[in-house]
Structure 1
Amino acid sequence: MSDSNTTAFTNPSTFILLGIPGLEAAHVWISIPFCIMYAMSILGNFTILFIVKKEPSLHEPMYYFLCMLAVTDLVLSTSALPKMLSIFWFNSREIDFSACLTQMFFIHCFTEIASGIFSAMAFDRYVAICHPLRHSTILTNSLVMKIGLVIVLRGSILILPCPILARQWQYCRTNIIPYTQCENFDVVRLACGDTRISSYYGLFVLSCRIGLDVSFIILSYIQILRAIFSLPTKDARLKTFGTCGSHIGVILAFYIPTVFDSLVSRFGQNLPRYFHVFIADIYVLVPPMLNPIIYGVRTKQIQDRLLWLFTHKRT
């Protein structure tokens, strides 16, 4: 392992993750809410998967996409939290160089996949509301599988250059990352030399997520709102819009932290370091925890099935 004060080394075998600088004494206490969020994420997402699998009436595109999101959330949170806890509990701050790049790939890849799933869910809501009679013929199981495959391939292909580029840089400054996880921007800025290509590519990936996916979601909801406002009665408009409520909730829970994290990483130099770390942690822990809660609260079919499971077991 390279010493933290080393100023001339190349491609370190390990990086050092500091955790939350300035709050080291509180690491054990901070780990408690992190553990609770992770446990809720595991329980909630596995519950969604179990309910959709067991309930034939939920075997339709909206819930297939929800299952894809649940798997994505599980992988995303699991990519980051075990290492966080090893830092908080055991002061195990070292992470192998290759493991760091692997973690970077999984975090960014599944963030990109989640963004693609939200676009697919927006398309599903658009077809269900604007073309209800053709919904089952347009969004067939075959098309849903193809959309899911395209989303996974897009996320993997877009993110793969990030660790490849990061591996080729020479690291001659320090091997210390003042965070709880490895992310592209934080790793690349430790490199010496001209790393603008990595920075520009990171901005390109972010623009694909924010520019393309968010634009597609906004356009879908413009058409959805037009269809809703054309309905004859207020009750019909509220009922139809209510079917989109859970989707809008998870979109906000996902994009607000990710956009905020990207902006803080690049432009928040005057903010305390621990604030940067908390924002980076929030976007890999909070959305996976909130998504099943939002869908559980807002989706009557899931509520009914969950209630039936509890009452059935008691009887």
Structure 2
Amino acid sequence: MFQDLRDSNSSMFQVSEFILMGFPGIYSWQHWLSLPLALFYLSALTANILILIIIKQEVTLHQPMYYFLGILAVVDMGLATTIMPRILALLWFKAKVISLPECFEQMYVIHFFMCMESGIFVCMAIDRYVAICRPLRYPSIITDTFVVKAAVFMALRNSLSTIPVPVLAAQRQYCSKNQIEHCLCSNLGVTSLSCDDRKINSIYQLLLAWTLTGSDLGLIIVSYALILHSVLKLNSAEAASKALSTCTSHLILILFFYTVTVVLSITHSASKTVPLIPVLLNVLENVIPPALNPMVYALKNKELRQGLCKVLKLSF
């Protein structure tokens, strides 16, 4: 799609490729970052594959809550794989050159998976709300069909809403500079190289953040406020503790994901004076959650821990 777009606007493209410079300010020793980043990536792949195997093999985990966790695992692996091989190639083999269509495609996929992660968190919050606040209706509301419909809706919503990001970026004129002070094709990092006005790109980036991520976070806050209200009305402290324990792992992941997103948005405004911070946060935002998510769930969820022990025993 982006190759066709480039061809149709060939007169607007004065440069034929971009150069990914890596981590600003530490070019001389940035290759040392490849080891921790590679470990994060391998951890993300291994942990999420294990989660999928456990959910598939354990019949007791064939429930909507774990189906959503399985979808999150697939999204996490997709997000990490979108950026990490390219970053490691840059750090290990100095593979800095990326074509314009490939850059725009990476930009699209990153935005899609980030929005998908946010959307799956919403689905998981709704699942916990119904389970705790409407337990008698849970089997009739949160069904396998509901999981499929929710996943399809999120995929369609995010795929369509993120298309304008690379399309608008591809319509800019890149007439001289082609060195991206980043190790991946971020929207604002790429469009900052354009020779014409990129205001519409910034506006749509902000609009996307508020309408999708902002609304997702709002729904999550409302869901957990209602959950907390219902739990506080329980007469039994043990029942309240049990109800909240099922939400703990989910809340940890949500807090980490949205905290990093907010911090990244704030530090981006300081990118001219402290460019390394937003770039490093941008990379970590795409690789740490995929590695962290399954570990948090495995540590906090008894059924997953039991399934993990069974899988490891069968393997060894």
TM-score band, normalised by the shorter chain? over 0.9
Structure 1: any 5+ residue segments left out of the alignment? Answer: 1-8
- 2:218 matched residue in structure 1: 215
Q: Alignment length, in residue pairs?
A: 305
Contact 2:234 2:240 in 1 (8 A): yes
Which of these residues, 278, 281, 287, is aligned with residue 279 of structure 1? 281
- 1:4 matched residue in structure 2: none
Give the Cα separation in 2 of the matches to 1:294 and 1:307: 16
Give the Cα separation in 1 of the matches to 2:156 and 2:272: 37
- 1:224 matched residue in structure 2: 227
Q: How far 1:271 sits from its partner (Å)?
A: 4.2
Give the Cα separation in 1 of the matches to 2:191 and 2:214: 23
Instruction: Tell me the SS of whatever aligns to 1:24.
Output: coil
Q: Deviations along 1:101-146, whole A, 9 cap, x unmatched? A: 0110111110001100000000000000001111111011111101
Instruction: Tell me the SS of whatever aligns to 1:133.
Output: coil
Q: How far 1:270 sits from its partner (Å)?
A: 5.3
Give the Cα separation in 1 of the matches to 2:159 and 2:35: 32
- Equivalences for residues 66-85 of structure 1 within 5 A: 66-85=69-88
Runs ≥4 in structure 1, deviation > 3 angstroms?
311-314
Give the Cα separation in 1 of the matches to 2:151 and 2:256: 21
Give the Cα separation in 2 of the matches to 1:309 and 1:287: 23
Instruction: Tell me the SS of whatever aligns to 1:16.
Output: strand
- 2:96 matched residue in structure 1: 93
Give the Cα separation in 2 of the matches to 1:41 and 1:60: 23
Instruction: Tell me the SS of whatever aligns to 2:28.
Output: helix
Q: How far 1:48 sits from its partner (Å)?
A: 0.6
- 2:189 matched residue in structure 1: 186
Does residue 154 (structure 1) correspond to residue 157 (structure 2)? The answer is yes
Q: How far 1:199 sits from its partner (Å)?
A: 1.0
Across the aligned residues of Structure 1 and Structure 2, the Cα RMSD in angstroms comes to 1.3
Task: Call closer, same or farther: CA 1:135–1:271 in 2, change over 3 Å.
Answer: farther
Q: Deviations along 1:146-203, whole A, 9 cap, x unmatched? A: 1000001111111001111111111124111111100111111211222211111110
- 1:110 matched residue in structure 2: 113
Q: Deviations along 1:29-58, whole A, 9 cap, x unmatched? A: 110000110000000000111100111111
- 1:199 matched residue in structure 2: 202
Give the Cα separation in 2 of the matches to 1:313 and 1:205: 44
- 1:259 matched residue in structure 2: 262
The one-letter code matched in structure 2 to 1:278 is L
Instruction: Tell me the SS of whatever aligns to 1:85.
Output: helix
Does residue 25 (structure 1) correspond to residue 28 (structure 2)? The answer is yes
- 1:47 matched residue in structure 2: 50
Instruction: Tell me the SS of whatever aligns to 1:208.
Output: helix
- 2:174 matched residue in structure 1: 171
Contact 2:14 2:176 in 1 (8 A): no
Does residue 248 (structure 1) correspond to residue 238 (structure 2)? The answer is no
Structure 2: any 5+ residue segments left out of the alignment? Answer: 1-11
The one-letter code matched in structure 1 to 2:250 is H
The one-letter code matched in structure 2 to 1:289 is A
The one-letter code matched in structure 2 to 1:24 is Y
Which of these residues, 129, 132, 145, is aligned with residue 132 of structure 2? 129
- 2:303 matched residue in structure 1: 301
TM-score, scaled relative to structure 2: 0.93
Give the Cα separation in 2 of the matches to 1:194 and 1:141: 47
Q: How far 1:62 sits from its partner (Å)?
A: 0.7
Structure 1 range deviating more: 107-116 or 202-211: 202-211
Give the Cα separation in 1 of the matches to 2:313 and 2:69: 24
The one-letter code matched in structure 2 to 1:308 is K
Contact 1:253 1:290 in 2 (8 A): no
Q: How far 1:237 sits from its partner (Å)?
A: 1.1
Instruction: Tell me the SS of whatever aligns to 1:243.
Output: helix
Contact 2:182 2:279 in 1 (8 A): yes
Does residue 292 (structure 1) correspond to residue 274 (structure 2)? The answer is no
Q: How far 1:234 sits from its partner (Å)?
A: 1.6
Which of these residues, 56, 59, 63, is aligned with residue 56 of structure 1? 59
Give the Cα separation in 2 of the matches to 1:211 and 1:279: 19
The one-letter code matched in structure 2 to 1:148 is A
TM-score, scaled relative to structure 1: 0.94
Task: Call closer, same or farther: CA 1:138–1:28 in 2, change over 3 Å.
Answer: same
Give the Cα separation in 2 of the matches to 1:46 and 1:259: 29
